Amino acid sequence: MKTLRFILGDQLSHSISSLQGCDRNRDIILLAELAGEATYVRHHKQKIALVLSAMRHFAQGLEGEGYCVDYVRLEDKSNTGSFSGELKRAVSRHGADRIVVTEPGEWRVLEVMQSWEQDLGVPVEIMQDTRFLASRSEFEQWAHGRKSLRMEFFYREMRRKTGWLMDGDKPKGGRWNYDAENRKSLPRGLTLPERSQFKPDHITREVMDLVTTEFGGHFGEIESFDWPVTRQEALDTLAHFIRDCLPGFGDYQDAMKSGADFLFHSLLSPCLNLGLLDAREVCEAVLTAHDEGHAPLAATEGFLRQVLGWREFVRGFYWMHMPDYGASNFFEAKRPLPGFYWTANTPMNCLAQTVDATRRNAYAHHIQRLMITGNFALLAGIEPAQVEEWYLAVYADAYEWVELPNTHGMALFADGGLMASKPYAASGAYIKRMSDYCTDCAFDPKKRSGESACPFNYLYWSFLIRNEGRLRSNPRMGLSYRNLDRLEDDQRIRITLQADAFLDSLAGLGTLGSR
């Protein structure tokens, strides 16, 4: 029997289930560079270069280990550009009579995979993706019968299951959650760690040129590319994070600063999502650093919560709610995505900084994604599908299984509360407290209305007014609505009028939102 093992571009792990039991003398491993995967949303140039370069390096590594690799390059004239097309060609090229593949990270690809057996007339084994700490069925069992799914309770279950940061059945230090200690703003003069940078080698350089030629019209800068593209570089990134960033990770997890694109964040998501690093090894390395006295408990717990908690939770949540998850639109938001999400051309400094960093790095850290671009889209009532397409396109770590729950559920509350207990809506006061963006901004974060008022302020109040019927009964919105109740009627009217005029201007009916 001749087996074809198909490895997708985000399955670059030696432990991938589709490689298990591989007979190096007989089996063929297929990897294919696909124009369709670069364009189903128009990915950031660095994202495409990252995936292609990591694929080329991975294939080279497999060949060096004696595997028989069939690698289809983007430039290949016969390349059909799709998973199905390349698999079909490979089956006939090799006379394969069995296909083994690991389940993908996106519903649309699973649907395609499920048609292969019939279309190609050979048995197709779709293996579980075992690179997560909770399997899909384990998540579903945990979720079964619960009225609402909250990350916090899932995370506690995962702590118990792994025994990580546990004293018997109690959390180490007596608390499950050190979030309250992880919300410090950055003290002036604090030295920030350098990002570890990887100079493109000849393979990456070649891919960067290819991306420039083929996808030059896509969003984002390519020349600044310095992402890790091999397993060794990914391990170096992890070591650098643990040494230089982890001790400050907890304290400044929610902070933002002009010109500081990475702060104490790990930059590990592209490596994790491609498969260059495994979630378990990342958590274990961080726990070892804590045991050796290198990282405080709050930082260690804060990091574990992200990987063992959020990352696993959103993955289980995605598969449980697909294929219909993205269809809801709780606030009936319909406005188009403003042009400055692509150009950074806006006098709102927080947005300009975040979009510009995204353009240069294919990266923004979590609080920028959630509380700047996400918060703005929520308050402004931008149509969820347009916001989701943007997030899937612009970040190096974006795959639908992780992007969609974070955008649709967490940032936009478009699912009406399946994922989060309340919308993450915030006014300019929050941004002022957590960043230095407001210092250099054309607007005043202390003003609620008027020409120089921060747009986040009147948009925030107008969001509460507009959605009163949907949100007032939410117990976690009580304080917000008590504050709204203190506004006089004429203030409400002024705010609503200003917010509407501002939003119309974003849609091209005026010039307020753009420079």
- 411 near ligand FAD (CB under 6 A): yes
- 246 near ligand FAD (CB under 6 A): no
Residue entry with tokens 């107008």 = 462
3-class secondary structure for 376-394?
HHHHHCECHHHHHHHHHHH
| 250-269 positions binding ligand FAD, by CB under 6 A | 265-269
- 131 near ligand FAD (CB under 6 A): no
- With 0-12 / 13-18 / 19 or more C-beta atoms within 10 angstroms meaning exposed / middle / buried, residue 170 is exposed
Least distance between ligand SF4 and beta carbon 457 (Å): 7
- 10 near ligand DLZ (CB under 6 A): yes
* Selected binder of ligand SF4 within 51, 158, 348, 396 (CB under 6 A): 348
Smaller CB separation from ligand SF4, 349 or 462: 349
User: In the stretch 75-114, what mask flags binding to ligand DLZ with x, by CB under 6 A?
Assistant: -----------------------------xxx--x-----
Q: With contact defined as beta carbons under 8 Å apart, do 456 and 449 qualify? A: no
Comparing CA positions, the residue from 96, 140, 132, 89 lying closest to residue 3 is: 96
User: In the stretch 362-391, what mask flags binding to ligand FAD with x, by CB under 6 A?
Assistant: ---xx--xx---x----------------x
Residues recorded for the chain: 515
Which one of ligand DLZ, ligand SF4, ligand FAD, none is in contact with 411 (Cβ closer than 5 to 8 A by kind)? ligand FAD
* Selected binder of ligand DLZ within 19, 48, 299, 396 (CB under 6 A): 48
For residue 430, the tally of other CB atoms under 10 A from its CB is 18
- 70 near ligand DLZ (CB under 6 A): no
The residue range among 86-94, 303-311, 440-448, 491-499 that interacts with ligand FAD, by the rule CB under 6 A, is 303-311
User: Phi/psi of residue 467, each to 5°?
Assistant: -110, 25
DSSP-assigned states of every residue in 118-141: HHHSS-EEEE--TTSSS-HHHHHH
Strand 68-72, strand 98-102: pairing: unpaired
Which one of ligand FAD, ligand SF4, ligand DLZ, none is in contact with 43 (Cβ closer than 5 to 8 A by kind)? ligand DLZ
Smaller CB separation from ligand DLZ, 222 or 372: 222
Q: Which residues contact 277 (CB under 8 A, 6 or more apart)?
A: 231, 234, 235, 238, 268, 271
Comparing CA positions, the residue from 344, 83, 473, 80 lying closest to residue 354 is: 344
Residues contributing to the site for ligand SF4 (CB under 6 A): 348-350, 428, 431-432, 437-438, 441, 443, 445, 454-456
